[in-house]
Amino acid sequence: MTVQLKGRAEAITIQWIPKYTFMERLGHWLHTATFVPLAVTGMILYFPFLQPLAQGEAGLLIRLVHRIAAVIFGLLPILYFIIQPRRLLLNIREFLPNKDDLGWLKGAPAYYLLGRHEAMPPQGRFNAGEKMNGLVMIIAWFVFGLTGLPMWFGKGVIPPELYRWLVVFHDLAMIVSVCMFLVHLYLAVAHPLMWAGLVSMRFGVTSADYAAEHHAKWYYGPKRAMEIWEAKKREAAQH
Amino acid sequence: MNGKKSEIKMSRREFLGLSALGLGISLAGARPATAVRAASPDEVAILYDPVKCVGCKACQMACKRWNRLPNESTDPLRIYESPWGLSAITWNIIKLRRTEVGWHFFNYQCMHCADAACVEVCPTGALSHDPLGFVSLDRDKCNGCGYCTQFCPYGVPHLQVANLLTGEAKSAKCTLCQDRLWAGIGGPSCAEVCPVGALTWGKRGELLEKARARVTELQSRGMNARIYGENEAGGLHRLSILLDEPEQYGLPSVPKTPAFARAWQRVIQPLGNVAFGAALVGILGAFLFVRRKIRMEEVR
Ligand code: HEM
């Protein structure tokens, strides 16, 4: 698929290549559409200075929304597993960390703040940051479910000490996942280097140039990607 | 872009602004420390004397009747101790305890601390210190968060869930029959009804004097008697005479809020605030910075 944008002085040609399946995108957006209301309603219950919003009828509405969203949030990965079990396992495998990810961590400041491409080793279909995001969300899904369900059905029944611990872990999962989400949101919608990310999560395709630059290990394969990167580093050193 | 060295530049104003924002977010959830309260002699209180108690459970019945609390199903194997303990619909109960002097009765209800943990943590003001001394509960204000059930050192308040879907719940506990006291009808129904004077009510100072005299008398009879509640948690408005260590009655010598409960407010809340503050400041800083450093025209 090729789209041509003709400007005044030159023509920019973007060659689009497929990146995400329909189910991946649907899952991603449904996850977002339930995570955000869960985070918002949860934080209203969590922050003492938002307590006035959690009172009376408003408080009941907030808790109702939290529970409805939680049901969908909880079912999504299960449905995905039922419909495309192999895909889900592949996705989870893609998120598992390996020692190459340290290179991303080292290069990230120079790359994301200063735009120095040669500082960033080649990345797979998900870069190490996205992998971290994915892994945190998977772990958080379990923690939210394992603490949230007893909080829901055990309120007033399970011993208060246990309840308190459930809330503590629910809150910790919230703190970690919401911080992760904020960074993810910024990179996806506002960071100039990441311009194609949002496009690919919306339409399933990415620019070939962008993929070569940002996901070289996926685009070229690991070996070729390393060679290209080494060459790039040598060139940068000469300047 | 092409490997040329760049340095991080940010104006002082931006830096200060961002730092202030971060600090503000971190502090937004902090709660001011409250002073320790203490009971005064003129406040209303109850005194319980287990040596006088005959275990008739009239107090338990009177409590249910006045507060219109439904009955609980009874466990036939625990014929005497039923229901088993305090709950959202049982605010007053007599149990059997084995102490130095053998098996005897002991009455449990809200201790009405002068410095109550439940009042301190209640976010809505549903639980409050009444000028008469007891810990009042306004069920209309209660939002069912359950903090009181988690923080009470005596495990007194219980949550009653009204609706599973909305999570609607109300806290429930003995209010010393606050409506009776406010209306001037009389004292707490448990104390009013007690046929043997094991539960009595009146001014806390006078009850303390009575308790001291009673303790001396019981000691002269060879019992290891003592007062519980004179200074515990700022002073309780439910005073008890014990015949053994408080622990034998399941009462803490030093009533403390469970550590796990504090962990949330002291650690998790500030931790969360710092994390969110840092994340937001970092992102805003990065946004302002990157906007100038990386130009879209040069990005592939
Ligand atoms: C499987 C998914 C989830 C379930 C079953 C669940 C369930 C619950 C329940 C039952 C409560 C107690 C509400 C009440 O007071 O009645 C709660 C509170 C809360 N939830 Fe969730 N939740 C889930 C996911 C999430 C997510 C994704 C977030 C945030 C990103 C979140 C953040 C919170 C927070 C901050 C609170 C307030 C806890 C407090 O009192 O400090 N939850 N949740």
The total domain count for chain A is 2
Q: What is the pLDDT of residues B109-138, one digit of tens each?
A: 999 999 998 998 887 889 999 999 999 999
| Residue whose C-alpha is closest to residue A178's, from A14, A36, A4 | A36
Q: What is the pLDDT of residues B12-23, one digit of tens each?
A: 556 556 556 555
Both tokens of B147, joined, read 């903090």
The more confident residue out of A136 and B273 is A136
Would the CB of A46 count as within 6 Å of ligand 1? yes
Q: Are residues A101 and A79 in the same domain?
A: no
Domain membership of residue A143 (yes or no) is yes
Q: What is the pLDDT of residues B78-113, one digit of tens each?
A: 777 778 889 999 999 999 999 988 999 999 999 999
Nearest to A192 among B279, B283, B299 (CB): B299
Give me the CATH number covering residue A150: 1.20.950.20
Q: How far is B148 from chain A (nearest CA, A)?
A: 9
Which of B122, B124, B142, B145 to mutate to test ligand 1, by most ligand atoms within 8 A of the CB atom? Answer: B145
Write down which residue in A28, A62, A83 finishes a domain.
A83
- Taking CB atoms and an 8 Å limit, are B280 and A182 in contact across chains? yes
The more confident residue out of A17 and B171 is B171
Q: Are residues A118 and A209 in the same domain?
A: yes
The predicted model gives A187-191 an average pLDDT of: 83
Would the CB of A177 count as within 6 Å of ligand 1? yes
Question: Which range of residues forms the domain containing residue A45?
Answer: 20-83
Q: Do B71 and B266 contact (CB within 8 A), yes or no?
A: no
Q: Are residues A127 and A163 in the same domain?
A: yes
pLDDT confidence of residue B34 = 45
**Cross-strand bridge partners of residue B137:** B127
Q: How far is A87 from chain B (nearest CA, A)?
A: 30
Q: What is the pLDDT of residues B160-177, one digit of tens each?
A: 888 888 888 899 999 999
Measured CA distances, B44 to A10, A204, B131, B203, B271 (Å): 88, 72, 9, 5, 41
Angle at Cα B36 formed by Cα B33 and Cα B38, nearest 5°? 160
Q: Looking at the domain that runs over B44-257, which CATH code has it been given?
A: 3.30.70.20
pLDDT confidence of residue B2 = 38
A210: CB partners within 8 A, 6+ apart = A195, A196, B300
* Amino acid at the residue A165: W
Domain boundaries, chain B: 12-30+270-299, 44-257
Task: For the full predicted model, state whether its pTM sits above 0.90.
Answer: no
Q: What is the pLDDT of residues A55-98, one digit of tens each?
A: 778 888 999 999 999 999 999 999 999 999 999 999 999 899 88
Write down which residue in A31, A48, A83 finishes a domain.
A83
**Interatomic CA distance for residues B109 and B173, integer angstroms:** 8
* Amino acid at the residue B41: P
Domain membership of residue A90 (yes or no) is no
Q: Are residues A147 and A203 in the same domain?
A: yes
Domain membership of residue A88 (yes or no) is no
A35-72 burial code (b ≥16 CB/10 A, e <16): bebbbebbbbbbbeeebebbeeeebbebbbbbbebbee
Angle at Cα A211 formed by Cα A210 and Cα A217, nearest 5°? 145
**Interatomic CA distance for residues B79 and B91, integer angstroms:** 19
Q: Are residues A128 and A192 in the same domain?
A: yes
The more confident residue out of B24 and A219 is A219
Chain B CB contacts of A54 below 8 Å = 143, 145
Chain A residue closest in CA terms to B284: A186
Which of A64, A66, A68, A169 to mutate to test ligand 1, by most ligand atoms within 8 A of the CB atom? Answer: A66
Would the CB of A151 count as within 6 Å of ligand 1? yes
pLDDT confidence of residue B243 = 94
Q: What is the pLDDT of residues B31-82, one digit of tens each?
A: 434 446 888 899 999 999 999 999 999 999 999 999 999 988 877 777 777 7
- Taking CB atoms and an 8 Å limit, are A171 and B272 in contact across chains? yes
**For residue A126, what is the DSSP state?**
S
Phi, psi (rounded to 5 degrees) for A223: -70, -55
Q: Are residues A46 and A139 in the same domain?
A: no
Q: Are residues A160 and A205 in the same domain?
A: yes
Q: Where are the alpha helices (DSSP H) in A53-207?
A: 56-83, 85-95, 101-114, 128-153, 160-189, 195-203
Write down which residue in A28, A53, A83 finishes a domain.
A83
Domain membership of residue A91 (yes or no) is no
HEC sequence for A178-234: HHHHHHHHHHHHCCHHHHHHHHHHHHCEEEHHHHHHHCHHHHCCHHHHHHHHHHHHH
Q: Are residues A25 and A126 in the same domain?
A: no
pLDDT of B262 > 50? The answer is: yes
Would the CB of A166 count as within 6 Å of ligand 1? no
Establish how many alpha carbons lie within 13 A of residue B67's alpha carbon, considering only the half-sphere containing its beta carbon.
Answer: 26
Nearest to B164 among A55, A117, A153 (CB): A153
So what's the ipTM on this one?
0.73
Q: Are residues A110 and A183 in the same domain?
A: yes
pLDDT confidence of residue B33 = 40
Q: Are residues A102 and A76 in the same domain?
A: no
